[in-house]
């Protein structure tokens, strides 16, 4: 008998889930997971970049895990998550050690090569906090549709990095929490002003870590609006079969 259930924190919807690994140019093996729609080819791909590993960020950071748990089924998206060098999760620990955002360029490039090797379509970078720095610093010239920045601190990403996105054909959007610890909407508007095509989405009441189902729903909904508008808005309930 079918049942209508609310979509909440721990819910894992149907998907094809594969433990993956790939090797960087400097010889490190990185561990991750690829989640694909169960009965359809994906219309687009989220290549996720997790928060700062020295402060608890990893491939299972909750927004990224919930994206993988929900969006293959609800929005027909592929979701690729991985641990950057030296980062550990229940999936295991990737080789190497934290590179301060410098050597992680090779991690991003290896993940993109893996995605291309699987013929994953319409790749978007989805970075969160530290992950936004990697997207901004290294994504501007890659074979991607665009970048979605969740809670960008603009700490490692300099003005020169932002300049690389000016007049860039790739889409770019930033979700900035009203109560962020590092970069609030007013400052973000000023810092990003040179990138005229950037969509800045200020989220009232939200914090850097996007805690709570309301914040999670808003983030995932905005991602889907940008990447696969046909699946927007996301449902708040799921009909089981």
Instruction: Kindly list the domain boundaries of the chain, sorted by start residue.
Output: 16-230
Label residues 77-93 b or e (16+ Cβ within 10 Å = b): bbbbbbbbbbbebebee
Confidence of residue 2 (pLDDT cuts 50, 70, 90): confident
Q: How far apart are CA 212 and CA 93, in angstroms?
A: 28
Decide if pLDDT at 230 tops 80. yes
What's the pTM? Answer: 0.98
Decide if pLDDT at 12 tops 90. yes
- Cα end-to-end span (Å), the chain: 7
* Residue range 135-163, pLDDT digits in tens: 999 999 999 999 999 999 999 999 999 99
- Residue 241 is predicted with a pLDDT of 79
- The residues near 186 (Cβ < 8 Å, ≥ 6 apart) are none
Percent of the chain whose pLDDT exceeds 90: 97
* Residue range 60-93, pLDDT digits in tens: 999 999 999 999 999 999 999 999 999 999 999 9
| Domain 16-230 in this protein, CATH class | alpha beta
Compute CA 102 distance to the chain's CA centroid, rounded to the nearest angstrom.
Answer: 19
Mean pLDDT estimate for the chain: 97
């Amino acid at each position: 008998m079918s049942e209508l259930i609310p979509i909440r924190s721990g819910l894992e919807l149907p998907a094809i889930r594969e433990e993956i690994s790939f090797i960087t140019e400097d010889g490190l093996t990185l561990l991750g997971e690829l989640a694909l729609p169960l009965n359809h080819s994906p219309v687009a791909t989220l290549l996720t970049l997790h928060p700062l590993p020295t402060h608890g960020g990893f491939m299972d950071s909750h927004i990224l895990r919930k994206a993988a748990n929900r969006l293959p089924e609800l929005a027909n998206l592929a979701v690729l998550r991985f641990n950057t060098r030296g980062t550990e999760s229940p999936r295991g620990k990737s080789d190497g050690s934290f590179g301060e955002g410098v050597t992680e360029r090779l991690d991003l490039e290896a993940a993109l090569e893996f995605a291309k090797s699987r013929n994953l379509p319409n790749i978007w970078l989805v970075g969160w906090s530290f992950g936004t720095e990697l997207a901004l610093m290294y994504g501007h010239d890659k074979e991607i549709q665009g970048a979605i920045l969740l809670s960008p601190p603009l700490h490692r990403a300099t003005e020169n990095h932002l300049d690389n996105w000016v007049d860039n054909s790739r889409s770019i959007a930033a979700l900035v929490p009203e109560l962020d610890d590092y970069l609030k909407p007013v400052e973000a508007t000023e810092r990003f002003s040179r990138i005229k095509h950037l969509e800045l989405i200020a989220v009232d009441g939200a914090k850097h870590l996007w805690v709570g189902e309301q914040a999670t729903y808003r983030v995932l909904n905005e991602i889907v609006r940008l990447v696969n508008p046909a699946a927007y808005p996301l449902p708040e309930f799921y009909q089981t079969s």
